[in-house]
Structure 1
């Protein structure tokens, strides 16, 4: 188990910036990793000594964003000279020195345009526009497409990609026996119409929105900053995807539905995107408030724009055309907003009310301050050294000329409109890229939340532009986008390799085959429950994932910033303190040990064994049903023979499980339950 720092807001008595502490927790650095940090000859105070260690650690982690917050928030004697120098620096009106015309020539700032279909030699293979772009690039590199995957493989791929659940044997049989034209298209449409589609999409979206139900810090029994009804935002997200709410509206309602549609009370939970942000202790202090603004800017800009605007908090962005003025112009929007817990009677919950005493209908949302205000440009991010005021406004690089200043309240509504505008070159591209990643296991632009200079350029830029333009033209419909991609010949390819193609493109950058995808923790656990026959369709209020009676989909589990559930952590669920661009993947011995020894897996193995034994009177039929349930296929002769041989062995009392229960657990532990071809 990786080393984790305790959830403490101080180090040796010195208060630590929240963003710094989150970063240290995420780094999971072992205590011995920084033993080469220089130590002064004269032993300083413990806090000052720790500051040196932290500062050097941050430099090694390449996190310049957090250094000024550290220097300003923890100053003391260690950085007195630096603070004095910052305080004496004046703030000229525009110190960016950015060549805006040149900056707008970066690929992601150029508005996408519909593309002419490229010519291809093999005109029989493409099924639609997507395939023409993919095949043209393949042919340029002397690659050939892989054959279409077998129907059973496509069936299982579609079910997991679109719903996060496996097909039942009955569903598999219905699809495989449907010989009418259009069977595959009908299956895609059927899955898009299921509630499970919204749940699948929500499980991906919530990581972007850093969804959580508590805060990273808690003092004693004070839970007043926690978010016990965060699940109402989660359920809104599920419903929005299922209703195919246009993505432009999806954005605007999460940022400002109360301002854009004052009479729309049904969508107020959408404001949880902002309302579930960090609420820190000592919130009356300006430096603490600045941490909350930074968190909002970071989450909003990365999620919707694929830009790291918060990197300009202390200085102009080192790589992208985002000035410090841009940062404070956006931060001013969030500085003019307050997080509230709104009760069903329309009144705000008292800030001191503990989570367990909050009304169950309470919504964690945001509301504009009565008097919105612009922020000064704090030199080096230090709130003790304010400079010129930066009016709330849109980003300059995305503006035609001077940025448009926000005049309506906090500016949330105007910010939402600018982000979701059709002439914004980033928003559609970013979301199309995320959906592509979901279906193909790899995005067109690898850095899904960084479309700036340090991000990767797309492997298929013309295709990304064409999809982005048509995504907007078709009402920003997520379902139409998913449908087009799922129906493509590119998506239907086998994941099996070709020696000739692999020599030319081993990494499959040109998509000559489908990428084999590993299931995340949600579909993996949900599939175990589904095949064991214990999965509950119930949604609503979250449950503790460790609870023995938690049979809901994993989406409906409590997510903690303070202490993430160990099973979620083990299977690469991201840290809920920050926006997560995409999931990481790891393969560790402890994951297999969990499958072998955890009470959850053993309980589901017993349930599966009971289900199989009740299904048929003989072992051979039970084995066939097991493979139909778990893998949507018939067992191979050698697989049946091996299973029968195992079942005929004398039971081992020391195992604590019957032979059928042991076999069920072994099947649940296979790679075929973990990967989708």
Structure 2
């Protein structure tokens, strides 16, 4: 039942937005949820009273339909007795008088009951009747006009051409229009011209950048982990995927599927796997003392809560510890959703790595094209090389037996004394101590490296010879002799070798040594501790330690945990590089090459067999490979081609080094069992649950897999009541500043009621019917008469609807942080048009990162980019450090992106004004805009002031504003002519270098000041 028009007119403005045009029952339910459910809802029922269920509300005399005087609920909310009044004073949540009247009237009208609107199916609403259908350009206008006519209001006239063009350009590109576009539209402001301009905006690549900016708040995208070290995280290919997805108009249902489960699609593309990084964007840590299972639990909580908020507008996180207090989501149902994400692969702790696995290489489209070009060139040259090889005839030479058995050369690093020209290091007061020690084999010298360590203590000596590294060849080995004191043996000994890093270790013993905790080829447990009381020769294969032939070793570390140890004669056993004999004889080469890990897999497999076991096909394959890559007689004819191939390989190597990595999702082969966590504690397991969806929402699709892909298909089912509503509401919010449902993060019982319920459902139904077409949806909204209205607040609107919830005027609000910065750079002629790529670091105050950083963090020190191309990129690409977001953005309400955020705050503080006037980038933009103005033809100060105002504001300025600005420039110019040094200091206050200009310094400075004033005018800082 809809309340009478008279009642709505009598309601104060604060309540009107809640109840106007909504069903009476839904309005009352919202009040009960906000004021009563905490004590009388699904989780708590004080005095055995529950107000969220109809049968419990109508039980006894709580509510007597049609009889407010006999209803205990009405008596309790109206009484003056503080002991009986509800809600009680200590709840600090009183009902307003108008809200009490609404509940009383609801009871008088029979206490009609309805399920929560957002959980009911989307209705295909018929267009309402209106008295002025000619005003309506789009279906949405009928719903808005019908509401206005019920309220006795009329729409505002259409905004002036320049203001409308600026509005729609800011909304679709996040940038102001060009002066030429404004002039053309002012000359032809027809519907057809406007629609054509909108279509051009939708096809502009910058459209995707602007849409992506909103989504990255939802996805909690950032360039760092977010906790403790807050190290760099490489996942920016995901950000670029979002831009491409919006520009390509990827259907919104696919947009959801590819982010939640791109990795689970049949043969997923690179882009689909990149999109699955959405699930990996949460805050992570590697802080010492972290409990792995607790961190894993937090990670899965975040994924679950983000999915619920981003796609369903639900505050699901309220059910982590208990049943949701206001919405029909039980704790068990919450963990049914949680289970979909608990089966994802990956360690709980991030290891402070840029790309903690699972991760993938993610070449940009340009890199893919370049790699394809190089590969095609390489294939063409290789084909020419093989033609030459095929024309050459090989015959195995006869070699003496002695040639087939060459002993390796022992290249000892030291014996009796530290290596010459070495940098010696160690811990403790005494390092590199040599003494006779126990007698050993003859090849050992007279002195040994001796070291003693207290029990459980770690001791280490190491050297570096950066100028005299030793190159590893095929089949080389590493050797050292060691003696453990039988009276004081160590718990563990370890050898560590330095190539490009120290991550090449071998240890003997059970107790890990320093730096030996990592898993992988760089840390090998060779076996038990050597027998004490005798010299033992330790021999290592460098390949097992992570080295490859061609690598260089220029340092060795000798480590022990406790005990007394003697080391002697560390050496490299090498056969040296391939010699003339190997380049003459395939069989001799085969003896050496069988240990070469660089060879193709199929060649290594043949070489692993005894030579007498090779069959004809294998010999042919080996001979072909040998002739192409090793045989000396083929080198001369192949030299020009090999030289070109080497150049191409170098180009490919450089390209490969530039290809970024990105985090992706992967599913475990055997997902763990999921349990309800009692009171939300990670270590208190309750009932085991399976992957499932809440009972108050539609059932899981028949035949769908019970994994993230099935969950995404459930969300995008056309019958799902939330997904489309939440999506269209957020797109509406992006254009009007506030959604039809103001609480875009909460469509539950505690959320705001929609200002226009029928309009919301009409938008949602049309969105799904269009194939989830985002561009079509946005186009239809910006072409509507509702959107095109003037934003001027008429007197009757100021009193009746100051927040514009009735949509009787156009949107007007302060621009977001990114748009303000990008707009300033564009007007100053500085904004880079480059799309995509690694994050950039425009200037910011010194010391901000260091103030929140831990020693050892790779984001401890901020170094601003000096390249103008990077410094002037769009704000979308600014490096986002979670513990210290860019202050230019944070001051203007950009979130930290530590969690999913679907709606930003919009504050107004003095600090914002100070930043806009004094931040180096805004000063740089003012200098650029001032230079453009000073170089304008026309001669007079007034003409240039007119040009400046028109360029910045789009609208024609008043004569008074032009005159005032021109007079200001004259006064400022006179001041700077008296103090040219002050003018120069002002120009140099923006980031260097100071661009050359033919304009005198005082004049440049005067116009820079004028431009700074214009960039801070209210019409420029706002969308009107």
Distance 1:97 1:661, change over 3 A: closer
Secondary structure of the residue that 1:343 maps to in structure 2?
Answer: strand
Secondary structure of the residue that 1:157 maps to in structure 2?
Answer: helix
Q: Is contact 1:444–1:460 with CA below 8 Å preserved after alignment? A: yes
CA displacement, residues 605-662 of structure 1 (integer Å, 9 cap, x when unaligned): 1111111122225223322221222111333211221122122221243464321111
Distance 1:298 1:676, change over 3 A: same
2:676 equivalent in structure 1:
377
Secondary structure of the residue that 1:396 maps to in structure 2?
Answer: coil
1:153 equivalent in structure 2:
163
1:516 equivalent in structure 2:
812
Deviation at 1:599, TM superposition (A): 1.8
2:265 equivalent in structure 1:
260
1:364 equivalent in structure 2:
663
1:279-428 alignment to 2 at 5 Å? 279-281=284-286, 285-339=292-346, 340-344=357-361, 360-400=659-699, 408=705, 411-428=707-724
- Determine the C-alpha separation between the residues in 2 that align with 1:105 and 1:136: 25
Deviation at 1:524, TM superposition (A): 0.6
Distance 1:115 1:554, change over 3 A: same
- Give the structure with higher Rg (CA): 2
- Determine the C-alpha separation between the residues in 2 that align with 1:445 and 1:517: 18
Q: Is contact 2:822–2:874 with CA below 8 Å preserved after alignment? A: yes
Deviation at 1:199, TM superposition (A): 0.8
Secondary structure of the residue that 2:664 maps to in structure 1?
Answer: strand
- Determine the C-alpha separation between the residues in 1 that align with 2:842 and 2:250: 30
Q: Is contact 1:104–1:397 with CA below 8 Å preserved after alignment? A: no
CA displacement, residues 356-408 of structure 1 (integer Å, 9 cap, x when unaligned): x99742121110012113311111012332111011112222134xx679984
Deviation at 1:532, TM superposition (A): 0.3
- Determine the C-alpha separation between the residues in 1 that align with 2:52 and 2:261: 31
CA displacement, residues 297-354 of structure 1 (integer Å, 9 cap, x when unaligned): 11110000101112111101111111111111111121110243423399xxx9999x
Q: Which runs of 5+ in 2 are unaligned?
A: 1-37, 39-49, 57-112, 347-356, 364-517, 523-655, 844-863, 987-1004
Secondary structure of the residue that 1:398 maps to in structure 2?
Answer: coil
- Determine the C-alpha separation between the residues in 2 that align with 1:641 and 1:469: 53
Give the counterpart of 1:241 among 222, 246, 271.
Answer: 246
Q: Does 1:651 align with 2:947?
A: no
Deviation at 1:189, TM superposition (A): 0.9
- Determine the C-alpha separation between the residues in 2 that align with 1:388 and 1:537: 55
1:163 equivalent in structure 2:
173
CA displacement, residues 468-491 of structure 1 (integer Å, 9 cap, x when unaligned): 011000010111100111111111
1:598 equivalent in structure 2:
919
Q: Is contact 2:274–2:362 with CA below 8 Å preserved after alignment? A: no
TM-score, reference length from structure 2: 0.53
1:521-536 alignment to 2 at 5 Å? 521-536=817-832
2:892 equivalent in structure 1:
571
2:951 equivalent in structure 1:
629
Give the counterpart of 2:764 among 468, 471, 479.
Answer: 468
Q: Is contact 1:329–1:374 with CA below 8 Å preserved after alignment? A: no
Task: Calculate the aligned-residue CA RMSD, in Å.
Answer: 2.7
- Determine the C-alpha separation between the residues in 2 that align with 1:551 and 1:427: 37
Q: Is contact 1:276–1:365 with CA below 8 Å preserved after alignment? A: no
Q: Which runs of 5+ in 1 are unaligned?
A: 1-63, 65-95
1:92-107 alignment to 2 at 5 Å? 105-107=115-117
CA displacement, residues 19-40 of structure 1 (integer Å, 9 cap, x when unaligned): xxxxxxxxxxxxxxxxxxxxxx
CA displacement, residues 35-92 of structure 1 (integer Å, 9 cap, x when unaligned): xxxxxxxxxxxxxxxxxxxxxxxxxxxxx9xxxxxxxxxxxxxxxxxxxxxxxxxxxx
Secondary structure of the residue that 1:147 maps to in structure 2?
Answer: coil
Distance 1:323 1:535, change over 3 A: same
- Determine the C-alpha separation between the residues in 1 that align with 2:701 and 2:145: 42
- Determine the C-alpha separation between the residues in 1 that align with 2:175 and 2:792: 23
Q: Does 1:129 align with 2:135?
A: no
Distance 1:182 1:101, change over 3 A: farther
1:191-210 alignment to 2 at 5 Å? 191-210=201-220
CA displacement, residues 134-159 of structure 1 (integer Å, 9 cap, x when unaligned): 01111111111111111111011011
1:497-512 alignment to 2 at 5 Å? 497-512=793-808
Deviation at 1:587, TM superposition (A): 1.2
Secondary structure of the residue that 2:688 maps to in structure 1?
Answer: strand
Bigger mean CA deviation after superposition, 614-623 or 471-480: 614-623
- Determine the C-alpha separation between the residues in 2 that align with 1:544 and 1:345: 22
Give the counterpart of 1:670 among 1017, 1020, 1023.
Answer: 1017
Q: Does 1:442 align with 2:735?
A: no
CA displacement, residues 98-147 of structure 1 (integer Å, 9 cap, x when unaligned): 97999992110101011111111222211121111001111111111111
- Determine the C-alpha separation between the residues in 2 that align with 1:345 and 1:213: 16
Q: Is contact 1:255–1:416 with CA below 8 Å preserved after alignment? A: yes
Distance 1:215 1:131, change over 3 A: same
Secondary structure of the residue that 1:388 maps to in structure 2?
Answer: strand
Give the counterpart of 2:729 among 430, 433, 437.
Answer: 433
- Determine the C-alpha separation between the residues in 1 that align with 2:657 and 2:329: 41
1:608 equivalent in structure 2:
929
Bigger mean CA deviation after superposition, 245-254 or 96-105: 96-105
